[in-house]
Amino acid sequence: MTRHRGRGIASVNYPIGMNLGGDPSQALVHSNPSGKFTVALSSIDLGQGMKSVTRQICAETLGVPVEDVYVDTADSDTGPHCMGSFASRGTHRVGNAVMAAAREARGVMMEAAAEELEVNAADLETDGRGNIHVKGAPHRSISTKDVAIAAQFKQGKTISGRGIFLVPLSDVDPETGEMSPATCYAHACLVAEVEVDDETGEVDMVRMDSAYELGRALNPRLVEQQLVGGAWMGVSHALYETPEPFYPEPVHGPRDFVEYLMPGPGDICPHDIAVLERPAPDGPFGAKGPGEMCANPVLPAVANAIFNAVGVRIDDLPITPEKVLRAIKAQGGARPQPRR
Amino acid sequence: MPVTVKTFTSSHDAAAALSSDRSARYLGGGTLVMRALNEGDISISTIVRASDHAMTRIDASGSRITLGAGVTFARILAERDLAFLHGPARSIGGPAVRNMGTVGGNLFAPVPYGDFTVAMLALDAMVSVQGGLGGREIPIDEFLQSRDRQTGTLVLAISFAKPGSTDAFRYRKIARIKPKGGAVITLAAHLPLNGGRIVGARVALGSMAPTPIRARAAERALEGRALDTSTISAAAAAAVEGTSPGDNALASAWYRREIVGVHLKRLLSGQE
Amino acid sequence: MLELRKDLFADERDDNLKEIGKGTQRQDMLGHVTGTSPYFDDHKLQGMLHLKVVRSAHSHARLRRIDTSEAERSQGVRRVIRASDVPRNLNTLLSLINFGKDDEPSLAVDKVRYKGEPIVAIVADSPREAFEAIAKVKIDYEVLPAVFDVEDALKPGAPVVNEVYPKNTFTYHETYDRQQLRFGDADRALATADHVLEQRYQMSPIEHAPTETNGSIAAPDTNGRYIVYTSTQALFFSVDTCAKILDVPSNTFHFIGGTVGGGFGGKVDTLTEPLCILGAMLTGRPVRYVFGREEEMQYGPPRGAERIYIKDGVMRDGRVVARKVRAYFDSGAYTRLSSYAAVKCAAHLPGPYTIPNVHGDVYCVFTNRTPATAMRGFGVTAMDFAIECQMDKLAHLVGMDPMEFRILNAYRDGDMKAHRREAKNTALIECVQVAAEKAKWPLREDFKRMSSRKDGGGARAAVTPTPRETQAPPTALSQQRTTYDRAPAATREPPPPPPPSSPPPSSPPPRPSAPSHGAIRFSSVFGTRRR
Amino acid sequence: MAKTALQFLHNGRDVAIFVDGGTNLLVALRELIGDMTPKFGCGQGGCGTCSVLIDGELHLSCLTLAETVAGRSVETLDGIKNGPNLHPLQRAFADNFAAQCGYCTPGMLMAAKALLDRNPQPSRAEVVEAISGNICRCTGYEPIINAVLAAASGGRARA
């Protein structure tokens, strides 16, 4: 028995938002009389962290602490229209809508504060801790709570804002394919190291090193969740998963989690990640969206690492031990490539 | 028709209820019967249970070991006298399934399940059953060959001789997923040594046929010989003989045939 | 472990922010760890009924007769729903954005086109009683020949999967059987390339496998409306789809999504909501329709399979000069979202590289399998696999380090992309450089110094002359650009040279096997031959 | 339909319900008692989202015939908090960002609790084994493993 190690790389980019645009999202932001804000969305959080990231966007834009913002999602009566959570559009599209709504609400808040402090709104700034004060004169200050009370009960103003974000739908030239698919792209490069058993074709992951460029990491912990989980899914797609193991023949489809193969907690490997931030001109605080693209580089990097380890190219996904073993036998044994 | 649950204190009564009703299934750990009900198997309309303590007894004090059919894998793992079976027991499910799944139920578990039974087959176990016509002991390979017709019989216990040494019994489950995964193939070998020679070699394979089977050609290659490199090679080369693996979601028949010898070689030579 | 490389692109960012960039705890974490985050199925309604569907036993069959009389009399059955009960049975998901023709029934009418296609729905007091009634539905099938391979489906005489698309391909722009991409003259460039490599790639389907299966609960609400708890990952998409199928105004519904137990693209299709609401409408009771795990795995839509052929031309110095791609999306029996993915895939060509001649044909093909849908990386994942395996092979062919090969060909700010838009805000080169650093993968100094912000544009911004094809009539195009785009630069000659400050490596590392002279053509289709 | 009376301890509280023949414990807990913390993921024993402790042992409630828990103690995620305070495992899961969609979290926490109750200082391999019957589709498992290890060492620090 011999086990061979190999390394492979892949680099990719990924379009952010629904292809060709035409996918609006809306947001509403309003304050209660205590100066606490609610963001109303119909958008869906399916684990990617929509609620949390839009909450930070709203707080930053309003200039209030994140604790003062609560994001309510997924209600068609209270939340305005959103196209949905797919195509890496959450952070970019919904984030922009929330930013626009928060900006409008902030405008009213600053006007109301200006009226209370008897200054021009343009001379005011927020301290991010729940206070609004005159630029250069922190003692001339009012809390957002007092502003909210004044706006509500004295001035008769609603501290609220509406936001929509829409990349207009663009057309496609049927002949040349000329089109405007996306306004910004995320990028990644990943190095995978594998170990291949040349008698059984089994492939074990040894480690991964990666660099992901995703505009701005609005919340590094959430980014880490996406990248770690997404790379796991990439390994899973590369080596394990399919509901049609004998595709295109539709037989022996898995019926449960024993037959549907996904790497278990004993199959994972160390993954060292670097995050690069080249802000997107039209992203909320420059953000793009890490959710989808994170799995993509893993698949080819693993395939290329297998070639480096034993000299066989498997161009069919998933790369099962059977495919590796058949290829090794076809070439008359493992042919390790120069180690790199 | 709604499901009726019948609970008996004696296994005898449970067996009678089971054999008299085609729609009745015996509920062991629930991993097969409850799953079937959850998935809409309407052929089951009676669940039979027995609270007979004999069915959950472990007798591991002597040279012959008896495991009640209702003994769970977790209990085997807690039993120091059964250390040689900890490998097979740990290869079943995750912790929750091991707290529920039973030795008796495993006899009925179809591919890709039923790994513990492979170990039992290598130990030449006897299956003690209670049918409508009374109790009897059936050799496990015979039981497995007629498994499809055994749903009306109640398995009470399984018994086997304790291997003479810890090294004499070996087991390995080849799974894609770690640490818990369905078997690509499962191998168990019992190689009693007498004066440095193997006497009474047993090699059992899971997922190499519709039910666990003996690798008789490999056994012949081992019988009467010392466990050296050439014997191991001969046994590994013969491993595939007489098998009839199928394709399933975990692997193809081709792959199973290709690797069974490799893994038997590794099992016998103690390689990782 | 995650490291933020704040040193890169620092001049493009204002990092003086208070909440952005912090690792703030998730708003939903407390709910998650206490088990109180609300999922659609966590609503207990008085008198709830259960809906299950009868699924086709065949991949392709005519339905001669459906007899539900015995099922209707079965114990606990409140209602049997047939296709004729669905107000607007035929739909296609993207009709909401006016893309494609209605091609999929909620319940099959005269034909089933994939194994597991819903034919009849049963609403009963308990799941058990629904299962018992399902067994009593008698369906007389006339089994038809089925097609499962995308290329077989395109052959003359192949079984017609879906009569709405009789050629087994989605129709683009009312005329085309594919989405094209034409940029420069790939054939001419291939003819003069030092090496040509043609390869075939295949991705089999992939299941989303969310831990929570698809499902919904619908209940009559006050004022004649219906409240719907749903696992959808696109709330208004589902609202509008249901409004269309059930032929009522969209404000008939109050959709509540709560938290979704994983989606990954598999909960866009609105698979359970229309029948669930219809069940509530027809019985006046709350109805629950949840997929079992086997249903989710086999009849819930997967990421569709793709087959991809790539033919590349590469020069000895490592420049890729032509890329020709033919890709087939296996849409299954109905369109769902695959038509859209094919366009996204065409736009993605030729990957994040500046290649002066690109030729793409992407087909959305119908076969007799479970309809495919969106999944994480939709339209791109398989193409990235193909492109990046191909890039590795090309690097090997010309004897270049695979990292340096990618940096050499990477797109840069100002380059013209194959869909004729200027590349901006690019960062591929930096990603490769940082990944190399992390992995301790040696790069030569000149490659370490290259940048996405340098040496792009100029000749690389030109649109190479592209021969018009006359096979399909050009249709009038109301070209609309987004505000983010500028018009492509005027056409110029000749094709762009490599970046001026990054000359091709003068002494490439030892070449493993393939000769780099006496041009060789390798094709996985036709084998290796000299020319 | 004949129903069977069933009495057991639910998170330390006596409960009595009537179940239909064949009802599993998951349905009993969710639909009859109203404890929504155990989740349905497969009904096949493959995902662990419905995990509960029965007399302190980890079980899959979807494969447990409800009436077999008569007179026994059933513990769910709803019962592991100490009053208003989070269990150390809950805190560790939060601190380690060990949940995304949150659907597997109740089952993961119960599997982890079953481990730490018996083995307060587990190795990484023991943690991996303990959660091996639970599927997570979002996190890649790493943060979950780290959370369980952190809860274990946190316990040691406090002891």
The ipTM estimated for the assembled molecules is 0.97
Q: What CATH homologous superfamily does D3-78 map to?
A: Beta-grasp domain (3.10.20.30)
For the cut 50, the answer to whether the pLDDT of residue C500 exceeds it is no
Interchain CB contact of C135 with B (< 8 Å): yes
The alpha carbon of residue A257 is apart from the nearest alpha carbon of chain D, in Å, by 5
Q: Looking at the DSSP assignment, which residues form a beta bridge with residue C55? A: C118
- pLDDT tens for A286-318 read 999 999 999 999 999 999 999 999 999 999 999
- Which pLDDT belongs to residue B74? 98
Closest CA to C256 of A300, A72, A323: A72
User: Which residue of chain D has the CA closest to A225?
Assistant: D139
Interchain CB contact of B36 with D (< 8 Å): no
Mean pLDDT for the stretch of residues A67-76: 98
What's the mean pLDDT when you consider all of chain C?
91
The alpha carbon of residue C62 is apart from the nearest alpha carbon of chain D, in Å, by 32
The alpha carbon of residue A170 is apart from the nearest alpha carbon of chain D, in Å, by 33
Report the neighbours of D using a cutoff of 3 or more CB pairs below 8 angstroms. A, B, C
**DSSP category for residue C92:** -
- Which pLDDT belongs to residue A295? 97
Higher-scoring residue by pLDDT: D82, C346: C346
For the cut 80, the answer to whether the pLDDT of residue C111 exceeds it is yes
- Which pLDDT belongs to residue B152? 83
- pLDDT tens for B19-60 read 999 999 999 999 999 999 999 999 999 999 999 999 999 999
Contacts of C414 (CB under 8 A, 6+ apart): C422, C423, C424, C456, C457, C458, C460, C461
Per-residue confidence band for A1, with pLDDT thresholds at 50, 70 and 90: low
CA distances from B98 to A255, B38, B93 (A): 21, 20, 6
- pLDDT tens for C249-285 read 999 999 999 899 999 999 999 999 999 999 999 999 9
Compute the residue count for chain A: 340
C293 near C214, Cβ under 8 Å? no
Using a CB-CB cut-off of 8 Å, the residues of chain B touching A262 are 177
Mean pLDDT for the stretch of residues D51-79: 98
Using a CB-CB cut-off of 8 Å, the residues of chain B touching A265 are 179
Per-residue confidence band for C222, with pLDDT thresholds at 50, 70 and 90: confident
For the cut 50, the answer to whether the pLDDT of residue D24 exceeds it is yes
Interchain CB contact of A84 with C (< 8 Å): yes
For the cut 70, the answer to whether the pLDDT of residue C486 exceeds it is no
What's the mean pLDDT when you consider all of chain D?
95
Closest CA to A228 of C28, D134, C432, D136: D136
- Which pLDDT belongs to residue D82? 85
Per-residue confidence band for B2, with pLDDT thresholds at 50, 70 and 90: confident
Fold of C152-206+302-461: Aldehyde Oxidoreductase; domain 4 (3.30.365)
Count of other CB atoms within 10 angstroms of residue C509 = 13
**DSSP category for residue C255:** E
Please name the helix (run of DSSP H) or strand (run of DSSP E) that holds residue A132, with its range, or none: strand A131-134
**C425: alpha, beta or left? (left if phi > 0; alpha if psi -120 to 50):** left
- Alpha carbon dihedral D27, D28, D32, D35, in 10-degree steps, equals -80
- Which pLDDT belongs to residue C471? 57
Mean pLDDT for the stretch of residues A226-249: 98
CATH number of C42-144+209-299: 3.30.70.1350, 3.40.1280.10, 3.90.1170.50, 2.40.50.100? Answer: 3.90.1170.50
Determine phi and psi for A52, rounding to 5 degrees.
Answer: -75, -40
D145 near A267, Cβ under 8 Å? no
Can you give the residue ranges of every domain in chain D? 3-78, 88-153
User: Which residue of chain B has the CA closest to D51?
Assistant: B96
Please name the helix (run of DSSP H) or strand (run of DSSP E) that holds residue C127, with its range, or none: helix C127-134
For the cut 80, the answer to whether the pLDDT of residue B14 exceeds it is yes
Using a CB-CB cut-off of 8 Å, the residues of chain A touching C431 are 11, 187-189, 211-213, 276
Interstrand relation of C358-366 and C320-332 (parallel, antiparallel or unpaired): parallel
The alpha carbon of residue C129 is apart from the nearest alpha carbon of chain B, in Å, by 8
Mean pLDDT for the stretch of residues C146-164: 98
CA-derived radius of gyration, chain C: 27
Mean pLDDT for the stretch of residues A45-72: 97
Tell me how far apart the alpha carbons of residues C297 and C304 are, in angstroms, rounded to a whole number: 13
Give ranges for CATH 3.30.365.10 in chain A: 3-16+182-331, 23-167
DSSP calls for D31-63:
III----S--S-SSSSS-TTEEEETTEEEEGGG
Per-residue confidence band for A167, with pLDDT thresholds at 50, 70 and 90: very high
CA distances from A167 to A7, A15, A20, C417 (A): 40, 13, 8, 19
- Which pLDDT belongs to residue B151? 79
Mean pLDDT for the stretch of residues A44-70: 97
Can you give the residue ranges of every domain in chain B? 4-50, 53-161, 166-269
Closest CA to C120 of C72, C191, C49: C72
Per-residue confidence band for B141, with pLDDT thresholds at 50, 70 and 90: very high
For the cut 80, the answer to whether the pLDDT of residue D159 exceeds it is no
For the cut 80, the answer to whether the pLDDT of residue C527 exceeds it is no
Residue D43: which of B2, B39, B95 has the nearest Cβ?
A: B39
Closest CA to D30 of C288, C250, B258: C288
Count Cα neighbours of B258 within 13 Å in the Cβ-side half-sphere. Answer: 18
B265 near B230, Cβ under 8 Å? no
- Which pLDDT belongs to residue C472? 52
Q: Does the bond joining D88 to the residue before it have cis omega, within 30 degrees of 0?
A: no
C121 near C279, Cβ under 8 Å? yes
- Which pLDDT belongs to residue D96? 98
CB within 8 Å of chain B, chain C residues 276-305: 292, 294
- Which pLDDT belongs to residue B131? 79
Q: In what order do the strands lie in the sheet with C111-112?
A: C111-112, C61-67, C138-143
- The CATH architecture of the domain made up of A23-167 is 2-Layer Sandwich (3.30)
Task: Please list the alpha-helical segments (H only) found in C193-334.
Answer: 235-246, 273-283, 293-298
Fold of B53-161: 3.30.465
What's the mean pLDDT when you consider all of chain B?
96
Task: Please list the alpha-helical segments (H only) found in A245-320.
Answer: 298-310
Determine phi and psi for C29, rounding to 5 degrees.
Answer: -65, -40
Determine phi and psi for B237, rounding to 5 degrees.
Answer: -65, -30
Count Cα neighbours of C133 within 13 Å in the Cβ-side half-sphere. Answer: 29
- What's the 3-state SS for B43-91? CCCEEEEECCHHHHCEECCCCEEEEECCCEHHHHHCCHHHHHHHHHHHC
Task: Please list the alpha-helical segments (H only) found in D16-141.
Answer: 25-27, 88-95, 105-118, 124-130
Per-residue confidence band for D155, with pLDDT thresholds at 50, 70 and 90: low
For the cut 50, the answer to whether the pLDDT of residue C516 exceeds it is no
Higher-scoring residue by pLDDT: B133, A223: A223
Fold of D88-153: DNA polymerase; domain 1 (1.10.150)
The alpha carbon of residue B235 and the mean position of all alpha carbons in its chain are separated, in whole angstroms, by 22
Determine phi and psi for A30, rounding to 5 degrees.
Answer: -150, 160
For the cut 80, the answer to whether the pLDDT of residue B172 exceeds it is yes
Residue from B3, B4, B37, B42 whose CB has the most chain C CBs within 10 Å, to mutate: B42
Mean pLDDT for the stretch of residues C521-528: 32
For the cut 50, the answer to whether the pLDDT of residue C525 exceeds it is no
Residue contact C128–B38, C-beta within 8 A: no
- Which pLDDT belongs to residue C498? 47
For the cut 50, the answer to whether the pLDDT of residue C505 exceeds it is no
**DSSP category for residue A154:** I
- The CATH architecture of the domain made up of A3-16+182-331 is 2-Layer Sandwich (3.30)
C170 near C338, Cβ under 8 Å? yes
- Which pLDDT belongs to residue A155? 98
- pLDDT tens for A260-272 read 999 999 999 999 9
- Which pLDDT belongs to residue D2? 79
For the cut 90, the answer to whether the pLDDT of residue B194 exceeds it is yes
Residue contact C35–D136, C-beta within 8 A: no
User: Which residue of chain C has the CA closest to D48?
Assistant: C211
Enter the CATH code of domain B166-269.
Answer: 3.30.390.50
Mean pLDDT for the stretch of residues C32-43: 97
For the cut 70, the answer to whether the pLDDT of residue C528 exceeds it is no
DSSP calls for C473-523:
PPPP------TT--PPPPP-SSPPPSPTTSPPPSSPPPP-SS-SSS-EEEE
For the cut 80, the answer to whether the pLDDT of residue B95 exceeds it is yes
Residue contact C134–B2, C-beta within 8 A: no
- Enter the tokens of residue A95: 């984030």
Per-residue confidence band for B80, with pLDDT thresholds at 50, 70 and 90: very high
Name the percent of chain C lying above pLDDT 90: 87
Task: Please list the alpha-helical segments (H only) found in chain A.
Answer: 50-62, 95-117, 144-149, 220-239, 298-310, 321-330
Tell me how far apart the alpha carbons of residues C417 and C349 are, in angstroms, rounded to a whole number: 9
